[in-house]
Amino acid sequence: MSAIKFETSDGFTIQVERETAVVSKVVKNFLEYHPTDKCTFHLNCVDNATLRKVVEWMRHHKDDAYIETESDESDEERSQDVSIEMDPWDANFLNEDLFFLLDILNAANFMKIKVLFKNCCKKIYLMSKGKSSVEIKRLLKERCDFTDEDLQRIANKYEWMARVN
């Protein structure tokens, strides 16, 4: 059985069976024009954790008939598709924090996995639904964006507190 390798931005390599990998339109198109048993895709903007999550989704949906990777929607079609209904498995699968969801969303966009992309959008939309603008701002702030250096600097600054305790 042929396998496809994905190399992540943080240097990991994940091997995925061919029928799972072709859920991605990028892979499918490539393999159509360059039939080969072994090849490696470099995913510069997808890290290891995200890719594992995406692959898990691809495995689950590899046999689904509705996973069609073709056709780009026009602006008008996209406007009409406002339903937020989702497969229960997907809804559960995507129960992650906003930032991980954004990673998955970007990965799905990069790898052209339309259904996952749409589902992530729905999930993110549901997160913001019913929230005020202030709450949305807080939601976007949730994750700490300090670099290690910043954290170290703060730790040094408040070191005396640790000593007092």
Partner 1 sequence: MQSDENCPVMRSYKRKEQILRVYDYLQFKQEYTYDNLAENVDTFFEICECAVIATGVHLREECFRLEMGNILGPGVEIHPWLIGIYSDIISLSKVQKRRLREVPLRSEELLADDNDYNDYDDDLSEKHLKERMNSIMSDFKKILWIYPNVYKQIASCVKSLLVVSCDCLIFANKHTEYDCLAKFLHLMFPKQNLKPYFCMDTYENLISVARIYNRNIWKKKLIMLKKSGQNYAHINNNMSILKKSERFLKYMVHLIRPSEFNKLDNHLNNHRFASELFWKSPEEYAIFAEEIQKSIISSKLRTCGSCEKDLSMLGFDNNNYNNNNKDNAIDDDDESIKFWDIGKNDRFSQCPNEVIEEIFCKMDESELFKMKQVSRKMRHFSESRMRKMSKRLEVTEITGVYSIFKQDSVFHNINEVVFKPKQLFNGYFIEKFKFFRITPNTVFKLIESQLINVKKLKFYFAEFKCFELDLSVFQKLVNVTSMTIYEFSPEKIHRNFFSFFENLTELSIIKSIVSIELVLGESLRRLKLRESQVLEKITLKNAMQLKSLKIETSDINNEDFFNNYNGKLEEMQEFTFKSKRNIYFPISFLRNMKQLKKFILFVENLNTENLPEIASVENVELNINAFEDAKISRLVKCFPNARKITLYWNVGSIKHQNLLNVLLTFKNLAELHVICNVITFFGKKILLDIANSVHTCKKLRISTIVLTEKDFDEILENFEATFASCSKEIEMRLEIEYFEFIGDISYFEYDEAKISVKKIKRNRDYFSTRRVNIDLCTEDFEESDDDAREILKRAKCEI
Residues of this chain that interact with partner 1 (CB under 8 A) are 75, 78-79, 81-82, 84, 98-99, 102, 105-106, 109, 117-118, 121-122, 124-125, 128-129, 131-134, 136-138, 140-141, 143-146, 150
Whole-number minimum distance, CB 33 to partner 1, in Å?
24
When the beta carbons of 76 and 159 are compared against partner 1, the nearer one is: 76
Whole-number minimum distance, CB 24 to partner 1, in Å?
16
Rounded alpha-carbon distances, angstroms, from residue 114 to 23, 67, 94, 105, 106: 9, 8, 15, 10, 11
Whole-number minimum distance, CB 28 to partner 1, in Å?
20
Whole-number minimum distance, CB 133 to partner 1, in Å?
4
Exposure string of 145-159, with b = 16+ CB inside 10 Å and e = fewer, is eeeeeeeeeeeeeee
Q: How far apart are CA 10 and CA 55, in angstroms?
A: 16
When the beta carbons of 132 and 156 are compared against partner 1, the nearer one is: 132
When the beta carbons of 16 and 111 are compared against partner 1, the nearer one is: 111
**51, two tokens:** 């890719």
Q: Which residues contact 18 (CB under 8 A, 6 or more apart)?
A: 1, 2, 3, 4, 31
When the beta carbons of 20 and 50 are compared against partner 1, the nearer one is: 50
